[in-house]
């Protein structure tokens, strides 16, 4: 029933100097060497201190775990051989964007020319999860419905409390940095795929964008693949966190699909309401409250995440992800990446120690 719900995962990693722990340009050396091993599963990103990797199309979450583990080990090994270190955090704890070089690529120079410092300062690291769909119509239906759950899962991924040497007070400051870009955040509801396509066509016609990939919403019906792409999350510090979050996105999609097959629909909430929860998740992570719009009241975020687990419980066995998703309880108990970074800082008052911790966790359980 759920064979269509394949998984693809993209992660963006920090490239650092092992001595100073600052972000450091690798001049595409890591990408060049990695191409020989993992081919097109690695690519350069906007800033030269970033490496992006992507899994193959994975039939299930266990295959995705194997792929991400291999990618992390491969990049860490190559980076180490070249004199770099690697870590996964939504922002670097203390490096400044003004000191970072832009990758030599016409597409990136075009973005800088258009968006200026909004682009130059976009020194952030994210997680993108693609979930396969049987059709674009179904992809849009699922995207409309799962918007409500984005803040819940995003809260689990929060992993960027520091920015340019400051404790920002946010569990995910990465999202605040990215908010400067146009066409970001929670997407609107679209009544049909035709309405969505007309929106994209209008943006192209009026020179807002040259292609649909410049719509950078927190989730989108992918313009070229039959997937729903989730883009809201910070890159998690560890493999376990990444796979747990990807599994949750897959399961929510499968649950909405199951309801659809039963001629049932999940209630569609206004974008403005979902944005309220996104802000709370970025500020407090799993430590605060989200709004339960059905009850019209604040509810502890952890409690709502447990409700989410109950909601998807009848699809996880068919997906084969029950064991993977049981790790959600571990995140709720031990804290998100942001919580763990903040704990190290509380103990040491040293952002270098925080950066060392991030680097040490990169290959945990790989």
C-beta pairs of 35-38 under 8 Å, 24+ apart in sequence? 37/74, 37/78, 38/70, 38/71, 38/74
Task: Report how far apart, in Å, the C-alpha atoms of 172 and of each of 30, 230, 235, 240 are.
Answer: 27, 16, 10, 19
DSSP class of residue 172 equals: B
Q: How many domains does the chain have?
A: 1
Taking 3-state DSSP, the helix, strand and coil percentages for the chain, each rounded to the nearest 5, stand at 50, 15, 35
- How many CA atoms does the CB half-sphere of 317 hold within 13 Å? 3
In a domain, 366, yes or no: no
**Phi and psi for 259 in degrees, rounded to 5?**
-60, -40
In a domain, 97, yes or no: yes
37 pLDDT higher than 90: yes
Average pLDDT over every residue of 29-49? 94
What does the alpha-carbon distance between residue 223 and residue 200 come to, in Å, rounded to a whole number? 10
The band of 225, judged by pLDDT with boundaries at 50, 70 and 90, is confident
- CATH (domain of 133): 3.30.590.20
**Which H or E run contains 366?**
none
In a domain, 109, yes or no: yes
**Which H or E run contains 13?**
strand 7-16
1 pLDDT higher than 70: no
In a domain, 88, yes or no: yes
214 pLDDT higher than 70: yes
In a domain, 78, yes or no: yes
Q: Residue 123 CB: number of other CB atoms within 10 A?
A: 23
In a domain, 2, yes or no: no
The band of 83, judged by pLDDT with boundaries at 50, 70 and 90, is very high
- For every residue of 21-90, DSSP letters joined together read --B---TTHHHHHHHHHHGGGEEE-SBTTEEEEE---BSSHHHHHHHHHHHHHHHHHHHHHTT-EEE--S
304 pLDDT higher than 80: yes
- Render pLDDT for 315-331 as a digit per residue (tens, 0 to 9): 999 999 999 999 999 99
What does the alpha-carbon distance between residue 86 and residue 125 come to, in Å, rounded to a whole number? 12
3 pLDDT higher than 80: no
In a domain, 198, yes or no: yes
39 pLDDT higher than 90: yes
In a domain, 283, yes or no: yes
224 pLDDT higher than 90: no
- For every residue of 189-249, DSSP letters joined together read P-SSHHHHHHHHHHHHHTTS-SSGGG-EESEEE-SSSSEEEEEEEEPPSSHHHHHHHHHHH
Average pLDDT over every residue of 228-242? 98
Q: Which residue range(s) make up the domain with 290? A: 7-361
């Amino acid at each position: 029933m759920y064979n269509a719900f394949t998984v693809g995962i993209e992660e963006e990693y920090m490239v650092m100097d092992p001595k100073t722990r600052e972000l450091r340009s690798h001049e595409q050396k890591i990408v060049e060497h990695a191409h020989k091993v993992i081919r097109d599963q690695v690519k350069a990103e906007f800033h030269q201190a970033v490496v992006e990797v992507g899994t193959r199309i994975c039939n299930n979450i266990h295959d995705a775990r194997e792929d991400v583990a291999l990618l992390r080990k491969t990049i860490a090994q190559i980076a180490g051989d070249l004199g770099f270190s690697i870590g996964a955090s939504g922002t670097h704890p203390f490096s400044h964007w003004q000191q970072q070089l832009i990758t030599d690529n016409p597409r990136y120079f075009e973005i800088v020319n258009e968006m200026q410092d909004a682009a130059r300062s976009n020194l952030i690291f994210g997680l993108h999860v693609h979930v396969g769909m049987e059709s674009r119509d179904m992809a849009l239906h699922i995207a409309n419905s799962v918007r409500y759950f984005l803040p819940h899962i995003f809260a689990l991924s929060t992993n960027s409390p520091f920015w340019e040497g400051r404790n920002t007070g946010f569990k995910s400051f990465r999202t605040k940095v990215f908010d400067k870009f146009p066409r970001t955040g929670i997407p609107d509801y679209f009544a049909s795929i035709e309405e969505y396509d007309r929106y994209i066509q209008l943006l192209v016609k009026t020179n807002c964008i040259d292609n649909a990939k410049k719509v950078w919403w927190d989730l989108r019906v992918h313009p070229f693949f039959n997937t729903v792409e989730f883009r809201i999350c910070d890159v998690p510090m560890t493999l376990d966190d990444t796979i747990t979050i990807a599994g949750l996105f897959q399961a929510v999609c499968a649950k909405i699909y199951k309801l659809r097959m039963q001629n049932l629909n999940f209630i569609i909430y206004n974008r403005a309401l979902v944005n309220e929860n996104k802000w709370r998740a970025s500020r407090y992570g799993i430590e605060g409250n989200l709004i339960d719009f059905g009850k019209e009241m604040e509810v502890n975020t952890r409690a709502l995440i447990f409700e989410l687990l109950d909601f998807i419980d009848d699809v996880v066995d068919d997906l084969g992800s029950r064991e993977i998703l049981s790790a959600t309880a571990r995140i709720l108990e031990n804290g998100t990446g942001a919580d763990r970074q903040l704990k190290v800082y509380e103990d040491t008052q040293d952002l270098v120690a925080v950066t060392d911790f991030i680097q040490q966790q990169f290959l945990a359980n790989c």
